[in-house]
Amino acid sequence: DYKGQKLAEQIFQGIILVSAIIGFIYGYIIEQFGWTVYIVMAGFALSCLLTLPPWPMYRRNPLKWLPVQESGTEEKKAADRKPKRHAKS
């Protein structure tokens, strides 16, 4: 559903943003850029774990689909169409 997709996107972006800020500050304090990268990668992994699987919290508002049509109705519609005539030059 669309609300679940929006929630997943907000969670994903929030975790990435927070981990980037924490990683930057920690890396700046200890003067090691590698730790910044590790913290951002850990945030990315955590956000993927929380947002990629179809958790029940993302499926609370299911979409209502149209009912299935019979296969014969498409054939009838194709037969009802008039063939297009091309203009003579």
How many distinct structural domains can be found in the chain? 1
Q: Residue 48 domain-assigned?
A: yes
- Is residue 74, in this structure, part of any structural domain at all? no
Task: With cut-offs at 50, 70 and 90, classify the pLDDT of residue 8.
Answer: very high
Q: Report whether pLDDT(75) > 60.
A: no
Q: Residue 35: phi, psi to the nearest 5?
A: -65, -35
Q: Report if residue 69 sits inside a domain.
A: no
pLDDT digits (tens, 9 = 90+) for 25-71: 999 999 999 999 999 999 999 999 999 999 999 889 888 888 888 87
Classify residue 17: in a domain, yes or no.
no
Domain range enclosing 39: 23-56
In a domain, 1, yes or no: no
Residue 65 domain flag: no
In a domain, 31, yes or no: yes
The pLDDT, as a whole number, for residue 24 is: 97
Mean pLDDT, residues 70-85 taken together: 63
pLDDT of residue 46: 97
Q: Is residue 39 part of a domain?
A: yes
